[in-house]
Each structure stands twice: as C-alpha cells, then as structure tokens.
Amino acid sequence: MKINALDTETLLIGLDGDAAALVMRWRRYLESERRVSAHTLDGYSRDFAGFIGFIAGHTGDTISPRTFARLSVRDFRAFLASKRGSGVGARSTARALSTVRNFYRFLARNEGIENDAIKAIQGPKLPHRVPRPLTEEGARTVMESIGDLAEEDWIAARDTAVIALLYGCGLRIAEALSMNVGDVPSGDTMRITGKRGKERVVPVLPAVRDTIGLYRKLCPFALGNSDDALFVGKRGGRLSPRAVQLAMQKVRAVLGLPESATPHALRHSFATHLLSRGGDLRTIQELLGHADLKATQVYTEVDSARLLDVYDKAFRRA
C-alpha cells in the first residue's frame, strides 16, 4: 500500500521546492533501489515528517537543501529531546533517528550534501530484547487449534495453512501473504522473495503442502491463474496481515498463551526449535533469509541438500 496524496503532502510541509524534490527522490530510492516494503516506507515517511515538522518550527523558516547541510549537533539533539519530552519511547525515538540517518546517507551518496553532525549523535539506549518463541507444544497446539475458531471451513483451512508456513518454513507474515498461486510448492522446496527482493530457497514438509492443498480445495474463490493471490480474505482480495493477527489473538486467548504469541513469534519458534534439534546457526540464518551481507555470503556455501537434511531431522515429527 503506497502513501496516499494526503500523506505525501503532509510529508512535504515546511519544505521549499528544491527540498521537497530531494525528499521525494529519497523516497523513490527507498522504494525502487532499497526495495523496502510498503509498511517500512510508510514508517520512514511518518518519522521523517515528524523530523521536518520539528526542524521547521525549531528554525522558524522554510527548509531548503542548505538547511539540511547546516543543521548542527545541537539541532539534532533538540529533535531527540523533543521526542523524549513528548513521551515517545526509546525504541520509537531510535527508529526516528535511524530514519534521519538514512536520509543523510542518501544525501551524501546521491546528492553531494554532507553533514557530519548527524554522525556525532547517539541514539537512546535500548533494553536488550530477545525473541520470545512458543514452546514446541504451544506451537503445535496453535496449528491444531487456530482453525477451530474460524467462521467457515475454508477460512479455517486458510488460517491453518498460513500458520503452517510461518512455523513450518520460518516465513515472515508478509512473505506468506505475498505468495501467489504460482508460488505454491509442488516439491520439497520453494523459492521465497524476502526483504529488499532477496530470494532464498526453503524446504517444505509434506504436512505444509497438505494444508495449502486443503485450503485451495475449500476456497470459494477461483485461484486458477499463477499470478492470483494465494491467500484471500472474505471478499476475495489478498489477505491482510491484520486478519492473521486477529486469528492469532483469538487462539492465544483460548489457549491462555502470552501476548508475545504473535504470528512473528512462530518464525522465532521455527528458528529456536530447529536450533534445539541440532541445526547450526549458519543453516538457520540461511533459512530465515537474514539480510547481513557477510553472513549471507557464508550461507550460500551451504548446499540445499544439507539444508533439507537438517530441516527434516529437526521437524520429522511435524
């Protein structure tokens, strides 16, 4: 979902024509070259609009490209102080600072505008947070129970298939819901396009294929073309993440699971349970499609046969 005209207009408030054009080039760079998701692009834009709004009020003038170049350490610190003063949490403040840094890296690399002051700014200290996976029993119970709460059989089959992909293949929810009919695996592996368009091959257990097959059989909407959305909502459009989150929220309440039992926690569970069954970290990183370049270069040395062997041993009981 792209930002609508009103959001774009809001983003550019306080900028002169040249600065507005520069910001729009940055957004196009994020979208076309960095290939960030629509959700991430929206987050960047909203954080940056907050930065622009503060700087415009802080300087009392329309912002030009020269303004970006001349902002001082004191200006950036004042922005962070304003976030803290308005009650914004440390993680949100750190995310906003990351957005501003991203923008300035773009200026330096693509626009010839340098400002070393941003490099001297330290973000707020963040509490260390580790992933909170479900237990193996909890994950299996979710897969077995999530369909019981659906209104119709085909929706039950759909929700079960999505959960199977998150836990059985370690997919991100966006990766699962962006799958088209042509992406449905027919063998032991499937190719997934992850963040920034990076592709990876993940093993697929027969149980996962079976859940997808049952959903397709029961789905009342035609899913015949290879470019049709695989998972659809009640009206036949591509299924939204919110629908999966609500389904998970219901089963979480019924099973008495903690609030940390979210769709993304199933991906954490996939990795944790695989590791506990003997999977090595490099293999798990490969399966998850993490974006670290150096790590990715190491993971490409792991052949698909070994991936499948480790995966099969870890999830033989599935």
Active site residues: 172, 195, 264, 267, 290, 299
CA distance 54 to 73: 15
Q: Are 190 and 183 in contact (CB under 8 A)?
A: yes
Nearest to 172 by CA among 300, 29, 271: 271
* Whole-angstrom distance, CA of residue 236 vs CA of residue 155: 12
Q: What's the token pair of residue 209? A: 């294929």
Measure the CA–CA gap between 191 and 185, rounded to whole angstroms.
8
